[in-house]
Structure 1
């Protein structure tokens, strides 16, 4: 019988943290969360809520003083200042420290596949506090190093792929689920042979529970099934019952229309500088107990949630219609060189 654990989650009210808390509770464990408490949460009443602000360093962690837990799960550590303060404060207060990092720590993001022993980016200086697209990966590298230095074999580092599923505030994966579910002709990047790879937040959460229950240390990539874009579209169409028709369009043609990664999230050309991020190997984690649900279930459950929840806007339907109309005119006028790659 698995012992009932006391677990502290740093973060825990939004998306990944919420799923981790729910998975821990479902497994019968006791959970405390440390948050700033600035926004309401939807966690069960049985969760102990502690207040603190990691941006204040050790002073912001007063609520942890004199307390002990079996494990700590760091979902909200983005800067070395935050992570060093919590890792040092909990050094003698928890047995295992699980740090949620990112696949963005890898330096050679065009490597296929990306394993845990691939080279990392140079770490950011510990006094860097601004999280941007350029600093995100280097900051996480430094955070990983801090956790490893303080906890040694008691550290577990998880490097997830893009995380998807219900409650996702980024909207990157959800954009495609909602657009395909809406049906009709839609703009699709490439020719369908590039790849999409995400990790369902619930699979990530269940692996955290496994790590804690089995006391597993080490570094693990977390990634779900790798699908071609054509297969991904088919999966979403089947999951949502949508009559949606992709207009596959070359990346350079999209760029000429002013449409790029900001408008069409998730798309990374397989031979591009970041193509390896859609080829993340999770074999080590699967051997340690990571289980993956079918992509169809992730798509279906995400749509069930997103249908009643306002979502972030990427490519608007009006702008998409303009681009599709322009491409159709060019196809009529210019034949095979228009950049359209079939349906």
Structure 2
């Protein structure tokens, strides 16, 4: 049964995923307050109530929540146990559902195909760990999930998104490929075209979050999008951008020999690699609970429409790309 006119507190909410969630909530007729540190640009509508706080300070940083109640909370900015325990305990008894946005990086066996919600998790990080790195990110999120479930019980919902894509993405990972293919010409394409590419459109994540709140859905859900081969992905972006870019496929062994990895070729994961399962994430449970998908062509088109006028992060530079392609052609004779 859908619950109309909810009051929702979003922890975070001004950037990317949080921004899309706030916009989806407002579109659904719900009332939204955001709690942020006030350190990043805020382009949210005037209808959103702004509260200032800092969970890194523990309970002392959440004075703005005292005496307030909401129907639900969505936590998009909880990365450390200190942050999440502070908010979960401060809101105990004063909210209905607590939705925690986690990550598929919590899974211990990331080479599984497919990755499902009941798969083993990484060992949790200690609650005293506060530094978020590539090594601690997943274990910290595991601990945060446990805290939310401990404090909130049946009122907890955990969302585990895959790589999130779409307009306003500050990471630039998916956007790099859209922009590079839109630029045309020959470009370095990783693998042989048969590896998988799978992302979740931020707007699909946002709509599902609203569904969870409106229907008061408990549980844990992987959030992933349609699974394409890289060849299909390239064709999708060409269609979205009306481009004629030509891929030069470079196998994983050659990429490794050239010293190219995730930092130059974001989102690419060899299907048979140690993390290949992260591009084979099952979304069956979320689909049954109401997840819908944006057409991949639309995701690429909308991302390009946004990125065309927005400075993006640099990954594989044109000079380095040309150097590698020249080496590859030389080796192939």
Shorter-chain TM-score tier: over 0.9
| Mapped pair 1:198 → 2:189 | no
Partner of 1:338: none
- Tell me the distance in 1 between the aligned counterparts of 2:86 and 2:283: 30
TM-score, length-scaled by structure 2: 0.99
1:39 positional shift: 2.4
Does the residue aligned with 1:168 lie in a helix, a strand or coil? coil
Partner of 2:153: 152
Does the residue aligned with 1:219 lie in a helix, a strand or coil? strand
Does the residue aligned with 1:156 lie in a helix, a strand or coil? strand
After TM superposition, where is structure 1 displaced by more than 6 Å over at least 4 residues in a row?
Answer: none
Partner of 1:264: 265
| Mapped pair 1:44 → 2:45 | yes
Q: How does 1:85-100 map to 2 (within 5 A)?
A: 85-100=86-101
TM-score, length-scaled by structure 1: 0.96
- Tell me the distance in 2 between the aligned counterparts of 1:202 and 1:285: 15
1:157 positional shift: 0.2
Partner of 1:25: 26
- Tell me the distance in 1 between the aligned counterparts of 2:283 and 2:261: 28
- Tell me the distance in 2 between the aligned counterparts of 1:307 and 1:223: 25
- Tell me the distance in 2 between the aligned counterparts of 1:67 and 1:195: 46
Q: How does 1:117-128 map to 2 (within 5 A)?
A: 117-128=118-129
- Tell me the distance in 1 between the aligned counterparts of 2:4 and 2:323: 59
Partner of 1:299: 300
- Tell me the distance in 1 between the aligned counterparts of 2:40 and 2:316: 29
1:40 positional shift: 2.5
- Tell me the distance in 2 between the aligned counterparts of 1:246 and 1:123: 41
Q: How does 1:149-298 map to 2 (within 5 A)?
A: 149-298=150-299
Q: How does 1:46-65 map to 2 (within 5 A)?
A: 46-65=47-66
Does the residue aligned with 2:212 lie in a helix, a strand or coil? helix
- Tell me the distance in 2 between the aligned counterparts of 1:53 and 1:192: 45
1:2 positional shift: 4.1
Aligned-pair RMSD on alpha carbons? 0.8
User: Is 2:14–2:40's contact at 8 Å kept on the other side of the alignment?
Assistant: no
- Map Cα deviations across residues 58-102 of structure 1 (whole Å, 9 max, x no partner): 100000000000000000000000000000000111010000000
- Tell me the distance in 1 between the aligned counterparts of 2:43 and 2:59: 27
User: Is 2:167–2:302's contact at 8 Å kept on the other side of the alignment?
Assistant: yes
- Tell me the distance in 1 between the aligned counterparts of 2:34 and 2:299: 26
1:3 positional shift: 2.0
- Tell me the distance in 1 between the aligned counterparts of 2:243 and 2:4: 45
- Tell me the distance in 1 between the aligned counterparts of 2:154 and 2:94: 16
Partner of 1:341: none
Q: How does 1:72-87 map to 2 (within 5 A)?
A: 72-87=73-88
Does the residue aligned with 1:285 lie in a helix, a strand or coil? helix
- Tell me the distance in 2 between the aligned counterparts of 1:290 and 1:127: 35
- Tell me the distance in 2 between the aligned counterparts of 1:161 and 1:92: 31
Partner of 1:143: 144
| Mapped pair 1:6 → 2:7 | yes
- Tell me the distance in 1 between the aligned counterparts of 2:263 and 2:49: 38
Aligned residues between the structures? 332
Point out where structure 1 has 5 or more consecutive residues left out of the alignment: 333-343
- Tell me the distance in 1 between the aligned counterparts of 2:57 and 2:255: 44
Does the residue aligned with 2:234 lie in a helix, a strand or coil? helix
Partner of 1:308: 309
1:196 positional shift: 0.4
